[in-house]
Amino acid sequence: MSEKRRALIAMSGGVDSSVAAYLMREAGYECEGVTLRLTRTETAGTHGRTCCSEEDIDAAAEVAFELDMPYRVLDCEAEFRREIIEKFVRVYEAGETPNPCIDCNRYMKFGRLVEYAAENGFDCVASGHYARIERDAESGRFVLKKGLDPVKDQSYFLYSLTQEQLSRIRFPLGGMTKSEVREIAEKCGFASAKKRDSQDICFVPDGDYGAFIERFTGRRCPEGDFVAPDGCVLGRHRGALRYTLGQRRGLGIAAGDRIYVYDKDMENNIVRVGPEELLFRRTVFARDMNWVSAAGLDAPMRVRAKTRYSQREQEATAYPTARGVRLEFDEPQRAVTPGQALVLYDGDAVLGGGTICGEDKA
Amino acid sequence: MIYLDYCADTPASRDVLARFCEAAGILGSANARHAAGYAARAEMSCAVSDIAALLGVDPSEIIFTSGATESNNLAVKGFALANRRTGRHIVSTAMEHSSVSASLAALERCGREVELAAIGRDGRIDLDALERMIRPDTALVAVSAVSSELGAVQPIAEISGIVRRRPGCRLHVDAAQAVGKVGLDFRLADTVSFAPHKFYGLGGVGVLYKRYGAELEPQMDGGESTTAYRSGTPAVALAASTVPALRSALEELSARRERVAALNARLRSELMRYPLLRVNSPEDAVPHILNVSVEGVKGTRMQRALDERGVCVSVKSACASDGLPSREVLAVTGDSRRALSSFRISLSHLTTDAEIDGFLAAFDECYEVLTKKPRL
């Protein structure tokens, strides 16, 4: 077989995906670049950068041109609205704090691209994520592992990938450090590529989720009461979905002690506030588990776990439940937030993950 | 700033602004049946008659819209909807503005069959091929008189001759880049679109010429206005301001064109010195447009570099950035990398020699910097 293998490169116009494209081409693949157009925030009148703005598309197209690979934009606005934004709004309205980037990776970035790749005769999809995929010789399963650069590791966002997807995905940056990637970018002249490591949720560039949800649904979030643990009303809130667990600033409550949001009662439109110790708990439940690298959980298991991306892994024991897992952390955890992702690790490997939920739901 | 994007937009002339301000003082909807309304209607009728006279057509054949994009949408979709039974086949070219090609794509989604006629290296439609393409069920031929990216001029008289031989088949001409740049007999077509902001008039207004007997279904519902084909309160001042713009564009066409041709000739000869530069515009394109490619430098990259040096040029006339090569340049050159490298310089009789000097100096720097980059 002399025919070159074909790779579809997910390009954002940024340094990482540009270097990924370069590395795939150097590895001998016949490459084609693609950018998913997910939203048109700018044309909708708000300013701020998104992950698929016109500038990003120009930048990605320019890198593809430099690398002499064909390039196209896949328009996924309707799907993105349906699968990602509408769910984001629904989850917020239910009082949880969703992580749309995880859904986007699952349904759009990899779901849609793996599908497109298969339909168009590509052998694989490559992206600039910092994570690794290895095949376990014994079980034959694909194992999702952390990126080698601990600062850049993005495996947390990828727990929801399926075995089928993993078999077709390449992460050429997984074994590299950010500085190595920068060096290649420098050498290739991708330095002009937009430098934008972390960002807010792409369709809410100003970070004001409450205002976004009001615009999106056309409904005002009703005001309600801040209630203390003893039942005292401490003030009025501007819509329960604007507040997140552990939040202290911006409550507008003049109280002597430091006061935090520790619970939300959406049904009664109450935001519960109290002292910080109410935020800590050792037991966390999660549902909709995806055991990305493991076959599943049938007995209690010692794991390391993260309840948010920026957190250090914590020691815990995972117990299977009817609808997911129960996690008993060795140390109490602060402000574990329903809707966010719980991701379990065994050493370097991502065992799986799910959505954090209240205890009765797991 | 050196502005070389006159095919996107031109500055409104003093006459145009004066006429606009004067007419904007008129109170009343031209659709209203009272003294104020009659006054507005009289002003509107005056604008319509003047424009018709300038174009050599009947006042009943002038429809005001919001711009050339709306005119193209109205002509293409409105014609197809009004003629559901005459045929489902439409012929166009790869040289059309997105307001035509996207309207055709919308019709395709509704079951029409759109075929693109072959374009020669000279940017012209292949007339023999066109003749062979037209079938008994061909309902519409839609072409631009002057293409927006390359400035290629189509032989409208010959195209009209071919279309007219097929009863029931209509010709739509997009003249957005033609008015003021080439002579055009509107009577050769069934519908012709243009917008005055391309020839020193104001933005927000467009015109559609529609031959009296040609059927058209309105695309904007809302009751009859000054014409049955476009509802909405007429923009009297915008319509009035179109008259001086059109008058100057037609009366001064030769003088303006001569001036622009000299600038174009100078640009072409100066740019010849750059070994990696290719001129994409055909030899006989309108002098107002010079489309070129620098090998190995993406058009958007060149545009940005020029912009950083205070020079405005354009890459693809369509606004959507989709990373795809220019359809026009691809159609003429058959070279996708060359199409991706293309950018458009568009000139005006207002362009000065000093501005050409400034452009050439900026381009020289950009060329040096951007072509030195090692190939990956």
What is the arithmetic mean of pLDDT over B324-352? Answer: 95
Average pLDDT, chain A: 91
Q: Which range, of A308-317, B43-52, B226-235, B256-265, averages the lowest pLDDT?
A: B226-235
Question: How close does chain A come to B296, measured CA to CA in Å?
Answer: 8
Residues B228 and B366 in one domain: no
Domain(s) of CATH 3.40.50.620: residues in chain A: 6-192
Enter the tokens of residue B269: 């000869």
Q: Which of B297, B300, B315 to substitute to test the interface with A, most A CBs within 10 Å? A: B300
What is the arithmetic mean of pLDDT over A50-69? Answer: 84
How many alpha carbons lie under 13 Å from residue B188 in its C-beta half-sphere?
A: 19
The answer to whether the Cα torsion of B293, B297, B301, B306 is positive or negative is negative
Q: Which of B294, B301, B326, B343 to substitute to test the interface with A, most A CBs within 10 Å? A: B301
Q: Which of A313, A47, A98 is nearest to A209 (CA)?
A: A98
Residues B233 and B336 in one domain: no
Domain(s) of CATH 2.40.30.10: residues in chain A: 281-361
Residues B182 and B293 in one domain: no
- In this structure, are residues A335 and A274 in contact, taking their beta carbons and an 8 Å threshold? no
Question: How close does chain A come to B339, measured CA to CA in Å?
Answer: 11
Contact B300 A22 (CB under 8 A): no
At A290, the pLDDT band (50, 70, 90 cuts) reads very high
Enter the tokens of residue B23: 């007419």
DSSP collapsed to 3 states, chain A: CCCCCEEEEECCCEHHHHHHHHHHHHCCCEEEEEEEECCCCCCCCCCCCCCCCHHHHHHHHHHHHHCCCCEEEEECHHHHHHHHHHHHHHHHHCCCCCCHHHHHHHHHHHHHHHHHHHHCCCCEEECCCCEEEEECCCCCCEEEEECCCCCCCCHHHHCCCCHHHHHHEECCCCCCCHHHHHHHHHHHCHHHCECCCCCCCCCCCCCCHHHHHHHHHCCCCCCEEEECCCCCEEEEECCHHHCCCCCCCCCCCCCCCCCEEEEEECCCCEEEEECHHHHEEEEEEEEEEECCCCCCCCCCEEEEEECCCCCCCEEEEEEECCCEEEEEEEEEEECCCCCCEEEEEECCEEEEEEEEECHHHC
What is the arithmetic mean of pLDDT over B152-167? Answer: 96
Residues B172 and B245 in one domain: yes
Considering only CB atoms, which residues of chain A are within 8 Å of chain B? 22, 35, 54, 57-58, 60-62, 64-68, 71-73, 188-189
Whether B302 has a pLDDT exceeding 60, the answer reads: yes
Range of B148's domain? 14-251
Active site residues of B: 319
Q: Which of A12, A31, A65 to substitute to test the interface with B, most B CBs within 10 Å? A: A65
Residues B88 and B234 in one domain: yes
Please tell me the predicted confidence (pLDDT) of residue B141.
97
Question: How close does chain A come to B320, measured CA to CA in Å?
Answer: 8
The beta-carbon neighbor of A73 closest among B298, B322, B374 is B322
Please tell me the predicted confidence (pLDDT) of residue A253.
85
pLDDT in tens, B279-289: 999 999 999 99
Q: Give B374's contacts in chain A (Cβ within 8 Å).
A: 189
Q: Give B373's contacts in chain A (Cβ within 8 Å).
A: 189
Q: Which of A54, A53, A50 is nearest to B315 (CA)?
A: A54
Contact B337 A68 (CB under 8 A): yes
Q: Which of B104, B125, B99 is nearest to B114 (CA)?
A: B104
Q: Which fold has domain A281-361?
A: Elongation Factor Tu (Ef-tu); domain 3 (2.40.30)
Please tell me the predicted confidence (pLDDT) of residue A199.
61
Domain(s) of CATH 2.30.30.280: residues in chain A: 222-274
Question: How close does chain B come to A15, measured CA to CA in Å?
Answer: 15
pLDDT in tens, A158-179: 999 999 999 999 999 999 999 9
What is the arithmetic mean of pLDDT over A348-353? Answer: 97
The answer to whether the Cα torsion of B335, B337, B338, B342 is positive or negative is positive
How many alpha carbons lie under 13 Å from residue A68 in its C-beta half-sphere?
A: 10
From B233, B251, B269, the end of a domain falls on B251
Contact A57 B337 (CB under 8 A): no
What is the CA A175 to chain-centroid distance, rounded? 20
Please tell me the predicted confidence (pLDDT) of residue A192.
57
From B228, B251, B274, the end of a domain falls on B251
Pick the residue from chain B with its C-alpha nearest to A33: B323
The beta-carbon neighbor of A188 closest among B298, B324, B376 is B376
- What percentage of chain A reaches a pLDDT higher than 90? 81
Residues B247 and B276 in one domain: no
Looking up residue B24, the CATH number of its domain turns out to be: 3.40.640.10
Contact A61 B298 (CB under 8 A): yes
Q: Which of A58, A67, A73, A186 to substitute to test the interface with B, most B CBs within 10 Å? A: A58
Contact B340 A65 (CB under 8 A): yes
Coil, helix or strand for B64? strand
Whether A254 has a pLDDT exceeding 90, the answer reads: no
Residues B41 and B128 in one domain: yes
The beta-carbon neighbor of A189 closest among B298, B322, B373 is B373
Please tell me the predicted confidence (pLDDT) of residue B374.
75
What is the arithmetic mean of pLDDT over A89-114? Answer: 94
pLDDT in tens, B179-230: 999 999 999 999 999 999 999 999 999 999 999 999 999 998 887 777 889 9
Please tell me the predicted confidence (pLDDT) of residue A44.
45
Looking up residue B318, the CATH number of its domain turns out to be: 3.90.1150.10
Q: How far apart are CA A51 and CA A57, in angstroms?
A: 9
Coil, helix or strand for B24? helix
CATH 2.30.30.280 fits A222-274, yes or no: yes
Contact A73 B376 (CB under 8 A): no
Residues B228 and B91 in one domain: yes
pLDDT in tens, B94-151: 999 999 999 999 999 999 999 999 999 999 999 999 999 999 999 999 999 999 999 9
Q: Which range, of A198-212, B173-187, B257-271, B285-299, averages the lowest pLDDT?
A: A198-212
Whether A42 has a pLDDT exceeding 80, the answer reads: no
Please tell me the predicted confidence (pLDDT) of residue A51.
52
Residues B292 and B219 in one domain: no
Pick the residue from chain B with its C-alpha nearest to A188: B376
- What percentage of chain B reaches a pLDDT higher than 90? 89
Residues B335 and B235 in one domain: no
Please tell me the predicted confidence (pLDDT) of residue A43.
44
Greatest pairwise CA separation for chain B in angstroms: 72
Whether B66 has a pLDDT exceeding 80, the answer reads: yes
The number of domains in chain B is: 2
Q: Give A54's contacts in chain B (Cβ within 8 Å).
A: 321
Please tell me the predicted confidence (pLDDT) of residue A191.
65
pLDDT in tens, A193-227: 555 545 678 888 888 999 999 999 999 999 999 99
Please tell me the predicted confidence (pLDDT) of residue B186.
98
- DSSP annotation of B326 reads P
Question: How close does chain A come to B267, measured CA to CA in Å?
Answer: 26
Please tell me the predicted confidence (pLDDT) of residue A46.
45
Contact B376 A61 (CB under 8 A): no
Residues B246 and B257 in one domain: no
The beta-carbon neighbor of B323 closest among A72, A188, A189 is A72
The answer to whether the Cα torsion of B345, B350, B354, B358 is positive or negative is negative
Residues B238 and B203 in one domain: yes
Whether A128 has a pLDDT exceeding 50, the answer reads: yes
Question: How close does chain A come to B330, measured CA to CA in Å?
Answer: 14
Whether A47 has a pLDDT exceeding 60, the answer reads: no
Please tell me the predicted confidence (pLDDT) of residue A194.
52
C-alpha triplet B141, B144, B150: angle, nearest 5°? 140
Q: Which CATH code fits A6-192?
A: 3.40.50.620
Considering only CB atoms, which residues of chain B are within 8 Å of chain A? 298, 300-301, 321-324, 337, 340, 373-374, 376
